[in-house]
Structure 1
């Protein structure tokens, strides 16, 4: 692992990356306030309403059916408490916090890249790569979404592991999994990193950190009588009632999500391969995370851009490794060719060229976001409305006869049934089990599960 000083690299990664992150997030937040506020999307309305509902006595997974893990509900409950029950204030708090969390996640990726490579250029490249998916800064102002918090806690776990804080790393990894199921991928990486760096003692500390957080959450829901429904809805239901797909559709979706940023995927793959072949003893977790979360987007869940954010973090780290190797190789080649040409100067030109390419790709992201081909929305609709094998769905979300999430949110309603979000996953689950649209409580284990 090369460790070069700031004098050699010519700049401090945070001084460069910080403004690059602040500008798009500030523009995205201001644009939302000026154009859309106080409109609220369905997912943020659901999470924030559930947080308010908890303070009114509602119990997630009992009074509210949902496939998401509990951490976002807890965050929304805290914000609801701070808002004093005012839903407009709650929405403002949710929008502000989620924007800060998403922006901080980009800086954390840059920090992790710097800790891995010791290279300012690589750290900036990693942070900029996160911005090639513009939904990261365009959707975060809309309010609480589970994937943004899973990304933040997951990358924080990597940073803590690299800073030899295994207990905190394990706790953060558990919070990532508790925010969104795919965050569980960080757990084995963190334990392996701790073992690699300091042996079994630190590995056990990392496990202990995860166990403490997981145990505390499980205890709270066990006391509330919601532990079994939480397991059913957050673990069993997503595995059983997820959207049918083909690998070709998922591959196409990845290209649609990344847009022009797909140009950086081969660069990331090269970085992963280099880490796996040349630096496997210290950087094995970079390609491992890329493969694990790559399988997540290909096989498990990719219904929209936010579902690719965890994988995007490892794509960014792969780009960082590739940029580090490119700049080091350029310096070595220059020294061999001539003693009269400054390697630092050549390396600076390589840095500028790499940064320019990535910046152009980042700037193209909003253009893709606005003007991407119509199959993007068409494919998302097909995924949402996909029917289980063996026949058409006997029900649709419209059969629930419930108000929209926006109405439920702004009018602070306490629905009479536990099925009021009525996502397509939820509808498929109801159709596969003995559940009912008009169930008042969702507190049991299904007596029947059809798997098609």
Structure 2
């Protein structure tokens, strides 16, 4: 009875946010089943086929060329084992697990915001901000994609760091980086958080947690002969063969990803600034993560909405800090370590208004996604005009390989390691001595043309 009576007073933010998340993800999953099933997109087909291929003796980075770190392949391999080799069942498992992972990320961000600010309205605003980009719940039912797992592992690592669980936080942060390279930001943050909160011993514990995961991956690939190609493809190739772009193109892409929710970006920037000015010692990692991932989306990698998901988490936390600072007054006797004292002096109408506005932006995201409004068309035109033309001697169409969907459904074992043929892959082939029909991608390139 005591537990039941105390839960509602402790988690009113979840009582509001939880049903919203459940409805949107259930609707997104149901829509996919009714409209698109069993159609499979190229990226999920690639990850899930590679997972199946691993069980058939294939080695990622040797028999399959790709720039993504290995954790998604491991997840897909585990699902393939559960599927019993049935690719339709594998697709269903991939879609279900990825949807659950993406859905869990939203309340995790809300919990982190509640822990940081001590305010329920800020936690709800943070969770709703995650939903402003509808691809979070519309693309996750398509199957395994690296960014959804990087987001989940990363925000769970932050939550564990705030709970003073440095070893587990380090391990989860390593899984985030092992899902997608930008997840390394979480690894840096949890080590810094552990040191700031409890000292060098816990910082070393966080490093140890990450080292255990990293060491297991390194040993596994060293044993299968895939360590050198993994380093080449996941580290060297993205740095030398990353997509060409203009800054204007990246800005237009951000605007296309956020749509009407772009109005929250200056709010998040204000929240990051307030965290620096008013509570840097406790909240430094919020603006730090925001700035590092801003660099990622502007200068490193932003090919679509899923590439912005890690940044979106820190945009959401910035909005939470802004809401907390703008509409609440912190009591004089607040624990500077945890910042989770319950707020009792917030103006109720202001909190409701903030949540309502962000909620309307969630609905506007659906309009932006499905409605093709005039501003969206204008931005697409401007983005196309800003794109940097690439003069490559080869294109994906030059390879004599079936579509990724055909390879997936027919359970093919391609004769060449270059069968996904992303543009990153094609650029890599063009600047090295590699070739489209290479049987195995298991060596360090003899030449890298950086010019």
Q: CA deviation at 1:326?
A: 2.1
Mapping of residues 229-378 of structure 1, within 5 Å: 229-329=229-329, 347-372=347-372, 373-374=376-377
TM-score by length of 2: 0.92
Alpha-carbon contact 2:154-2:183 (below 8 Å) kept: yes
Whole-Å separation in 1 of the counterparts to 2:260 and 2:252: 13
Alpha-carbon contact 2:245-2:388 (below 8 Å) kept: no
Match of 1:219, SS state, is helix
Whether 1:17 aligns to 2:17 is yes
Whole-Å separation in 1 of the counterparts to 2:317 and 2:232: 34
Whether 1:409 aligns to 2:408 is yes
The residue aligned with 1:426 is 425
Gap change, CA 1:370 and 1:8, over 3 Å in 2: closer
Deviates more, 1:375-384 or 1:434-443: 375-384
Match of 1:450, SS state, is coil
The residue aligned with 1:69 is 69
Whole-Å separation in 1 of the counterparts to 2:89 and 2:16: 33
Whole-Å separation in 1 of the counterparts to 2:172 and 2:15: 26
Gap change, CA 1:350 and 1:292, over 3 Å in 2: same
Gap change, CA 1:407 and 1:438, over 3 Å in 2: same
The residue aligned with 2:338 is none
The unaligned stretches of length 5 or more in structure 2 are 1-5, 333-342
The residue aligned with 1:338 is none
Alpha-carbon contact 1:384-1:424 (below 8 Å) kept: no
| 1:15-70, Cα deviation, whole Å (9 max, x unpaired) | 11100111111110000000000000000000000000000000000000000000
Whole-Å separation in 2 of the counterparts to 1:346 and 1:150: 35
Q: CA deviation at 1:188?
A: 1.3
Alpha-carbon contact 2:257-2:305 (below 8 Å) kept: yes
The residue aligned with 1:134 is 134
Gap change, CA 1:263 and 1:249, over 3 Å in 2: same
TM-score by length of 1: 0.92
Gap change, CA 1:383 and 1:225, over 3 Å in 2: farther
Q: CA deviation at 1:180?
A: 0.2
Deviates more, 1:361-370 or 1:161-170: 361-370
Q: CA deviation at 1:371?
A: 2.9
Q: CA deviation at 1:327?
A: 2.4
Q: CA deviation at 1:434?
A: 0.2
Q: CA deviation at 1:7?
A: 11
Alpha-carbon contact 2:244-2:388 (below 8 Å) kept: no
Alpha-carbon contact 1:9-1:121 (below 8 Å) kept: no
Alpha-carbon contact 2:246-2:387 (below 8 Å) kept: no
Aligned residues: 433
Q: CA deviation at 1:385?
A: 8.4
Gap change, CA 1:19 and 1:213, over 3 Å in 2: same
The residue aligned with 2:444 is 445
The residue aligned with 1:206 is 206
Mapping of residues 104-143 of structure 1, within 5 Å: 104-143=104-143
Match of 1:61, SS state, is coil
Alpha-carbon contact 2:248-2:383 (below 8 Å) kept: no
Whole-Å separation in 2 of the counterparts to 1:316 and 1:419: 38
Which aligned runs of 4 or more in structure 1 are off by greater than 3 angstroms? 6-11, 329-332, 343-346, 374-386
Alpha-carbon contact 1:330-1:346 (below 8 Å) kept: no
Gap change, CA 1:10 and 1:49, over 3 Å in 2: closer
Gap change, CA 1:433 and 1:10, over 3 Å in 2: closer
Whole-Å separation in 1 of the counterparts to 2:286 and 2:382: 30
Whole-Å separation in 1 of the counterparts to 2:394 and 2:435: 10
Whole-Å separation in 2 of the counterparts to 1:139 and 1:115: 29
The residue aligned with 1:395 is 394
Alpha-carbon contact 1:32-1:141 (below 8 Å) kept: yes
Q: CA deviation at 1:179?
A: 0.1
Q: CA deviation at 1:8?
A: 12
CA RMSD of aligned residues (A): 2.1
